[in-house]
Amino acid sequence: MKAVVVERYGPPEVAVVAEESMPEPGLGEVLVRVDAAAVTSGDARMRAASFPPGFGFLARLGIGIRGPRRRVLGVAFSGRVERASSDVAEFSPGDEVAGMTGARLGAHAEYVAVPSSRLAPKPRAVSPEDAAGILFGGSTALWFLRDRAHVRPGDRVLVNGASGSVGSAAVQLARHFGASVTAVTSAANTQLVLGLGAERAIDYRETPVAAIPDHFDVVFDAVGNLSRAEGLPLLAPGGRLILAVAGLADTAIPHRGVITGTAPERAEDFELLLGLLASGELRGTTQALDGLESVAAAYRLIDSGRKVGNIVVRPRLTGHTGAGSWG
């Protein structure tokens, strides 16, 4: 099969298409033919060894010193079941599914083997592109907002980086939970975030997030450019500061009201997110590129800081490069 391989850390061009062995599903696993795979900011950080402050040495020890030990990156995907292990009863060949691979990575390929516990059925009403696109940002935003910050109806939520993968999901999920949302983004993305449910949009070029005079019950920094010292003054009494891309110091040193960490990848969360997409309560913000060779182009867009929403790659050419769903 074809896959995108990263042999060493570096710029987008280190991600090249190569022939790899077809993965074999083990016990409890399913082989999926990939229809769409997300290219995320997490993938880009791993490809470039560009980790949050303080994590560089530890990350290289865990992931690889000169390059990723797992050469095929990619975590979130959608596709069709090709075959399943004999002990898997919940999925059959031909089933449409979406899921995440966790630390084993491997989704930037034509096929991926994954434990059935990391898969959710894909509703027919949801495109493969939107299914793959929602899982990374959606599961991250869901865990921070629902499970950690316990967002309630009437809460005032500020989302910094509201037009990205995590940020666009956070705007929509906070609104779904009954909060009023203020979105920090560029002027070019104002209409996008307002359309996703934000009540107000702030252009960070005119008003830096740390200079916003209002106070919020939850401040969600989705991009990693707001420090704990800058975020805490934005909180109302009893408020919670979410640092989704926190450095080592903010992660290791607890502080009341500051939430950091890594979101789990749970099939029940995938099913919830896909169901919200199918019902129209969440909107897809997905740009799709054709061919695995487009992974390098996706990385260039992420590295530029101008990515909007989610980027997915369709491993097999469909003849309409650049198509996407924007709700």
Got the DSSP string for 172-209?
Answer: HHHHHTT-EEEEEE-GGGHHHHHHTT-SEEEETTTS-G
Which residues is 30 bridged to in the sheet?
Answer: 84, 114
Tokens standing for residue 253 = 């040193």
**Residue-level pLDDT at 316:** 80
Question: Whole-model pTM?
Answer: 0.93
Q: Which residues of 74-96 are buried (b: 16+ CB within 10 A; e: fewer)?
A: bbbbbbebbbbbeebeebeeebb
**Residue-level pLDDT at 325:** 55
Residues 6+ away with beta carbon under 8 Å from 193 = 162, 163, 168, 171, 183, 185, 201
Q: Classify strands 200-203 and 29-38 as parallel, antiparallel or unpaired.
A: unpaired
> From first to last of its 327 residues, what are the pLDDT tens digits of the chain?
999 999 999 999 999 999 999 999 999 999 999 999 999 999 999 999 998 888 888 889 889 999 999 999 999 999 999 999 999 999 999 999 999 999 999 999 999 999 999 999 999 999 999 999 999 999 999 999 999 999 999 999 999 999 999 999 999 999 999 999 999 999 999 999 999 999 999 999 999 999 999 999 999 999 999 999 999 999 999 999 999 998 888 888 888 999 999 999 999 999 999 999 999 999 999 999 999 999 999 999 999 988 999 999 999 854 443 444 544
3-state secondary structure at position 27: coil
**Residue-level pLDDT at 27:** 96
Which amino acid type is present at position 33? R
Q: What's the CA gap between 226 and 305, in Å, rounded?
A: 15
Among 219, 165, 214, 162, CA closest to 190: 162
**Residue-level pLDDT at 59:** 84
Q: What's the CA gap between 236 and 78, in Å, rounded?
A: 40
**CB 119 within 8 Å of CB 275:** no
**CB 228 within 8 Å of CB 259:** no
